[in-house]
Amino acid sequence: MEVPKGKITTYGELAKAVGLKNGQRAVGRIMNKNPYPVIIPCHRVVKSDGKIGGYAYGVETKSSMLEKEGIKIKDGKILDLENRIHRF
């Protein structure tokens, strides 16, 4: 919930923030079970290589939500990744 609109974080960054060393996959599984995607904006969590990653409601939906927040995406990857990452 701390990742502001127009920013993203990675599964790895989020795992580190909650104390899960190498917990990227666990974070991904948790995000997939998010029952409140409007309240808890899990669409703002992406892969460390800039790829969108999965989303329970489909990659197209995730991409659309990110683009509405000003995130530029090309060929399934976040453009200008380093300037968009929110670090905890």
Question: CATH number of the domain that 32 lies in?
Answer: 1.10.10.10
> Which of the pair, 38 or 80, is modelled with greater confidence?
80
Tell me the residue range of the domain where 14 lies: 9-84
Residue 11 has pLDDT above 90, yes or no: yes
Q: Is residue 2 part of a domain?
A: no
> Is 1 inside any structural domain?
no
Any domain includes 19: yes
Number of independent structural domains in the chain: 1
Could you tell me the pLDDT band of residue 86, with boundaries at 50, 70 and 90? Answer: very high
Residue 77: inside a domain: yes
Query: Tell me: the pLDDT tens digits for 19-77?
Result: 999 999 999 999 888 999 878 999 999 999 999 998 988 999 999 999 999 999 999 99
| Residues classed as catalytic | 42
Q: Is 60 a domain residue?
A: yes
Q: What is the pTM of this model?
A: 0.91
Q: Residue 39's pLDDT is what? A: 87
Name the β-bridge partners of 51.
Answer: 77
Residue 18: φ, ψ to 5°: -105, 10
